[in-house]
Amino acid sequence: MELINTLIDSTILNHTFQIWMSVLFTLMMLSFLFKDNPLYKLGENTFLGISLGYGWVRSWEIVVVPFLIRPLKDAYLDFQPYDITLILWLIMGSTMFFRFSRTKAWVANYYFAFVFAYVAGYEIPVQVQNLFVQGSNMMKPLFEQPSFFEISKWFVIIFGTFSGLMYFFFSKPHKGLLGKTARVGILILMINFGASFGATVMGRIALFIGRAQVIADNYTASIVLAIIISIFLFIYFKYLQKEPKLDDEQMH
């Protein structure tokens, strides 16, 4: 036990090790820009492993122990008639395991029908509320707008939303006034898609700048690891990479 604690303290809790680990993972993932390679796959599996392990542990602490283990333990120590409901629900929840069966997968219908319908019951008022919230947020008083800039936004929001909705209105052919309104709606939607695209690209570039800063701030680790990764990739692609096997479709 002492050995394990020392090992943890000198690796995972060691600041230098943490910095090198962070830079290594960044460079491993960036190596995909060259080609798909084992280092990228290793990084990918680390990502999956840490996120799954983190999710399991947090779920165990926050959900499973307080809402399953503790009630079951209480029922075991001091059984009350209403504890039967917990057992019945657990039996119904367990029908989900039949999803793994090829012939009895329909048993999981009990699980899905209940979960979907329960969530639907919860969501119906939420969706109605969302509609009203969106509507009321959209319709702010025109004469309370402080500047021409805000007034122009007000007009674009009101008429843009209306024309966008007209584009999705298929109960009448898009001709005449409806057709022209729908055409404006398309343009509004296109601006929306373009702006969303631009914002997404800038978000991704901001993330990349963050990673580049980590690499630049820790240049010793970055240079050493980049050289090692480059040598590995050279050796791998030159000598170790196997030819991909032809699958049945390619052979025919």
CA distances in angstroms from 73 to 12, 56, 65, 149, 190, listed in the order given? 35, 21, 10, 63, 57
Residue 18 vs 220, nearer CB to other proteins: 18
- Give residue 170's region: left, alpha or beta (phi > 0; psi -120 to 50): alpha
> CA torsion angle for 107, 112, 118, 120 (degrees, to 10)?
-140
Residue 117 vs 235, nearer CB to other proteins: 117
Residue 79 vs 112, nearer CB to other proteins: 112
Residue 69 vs 227, nearer CB to other proteins: 69
Q: How far is the CB of 8 from other proteins (least distance, A)?
A: 5
CA end-to-end span of the chain: 58
Q: How far is the CB of 42 from other proteins (least distance, A)?
A: 7
Query: For the chain, how big is the Rg over CA atoms in Å?
Result: 29
Q: How far is the CB of 102 from other proteins (least distance, A)?
A: 11
Q: How far is the CB of 144 from other proteins (least distance, A)?
A: 16
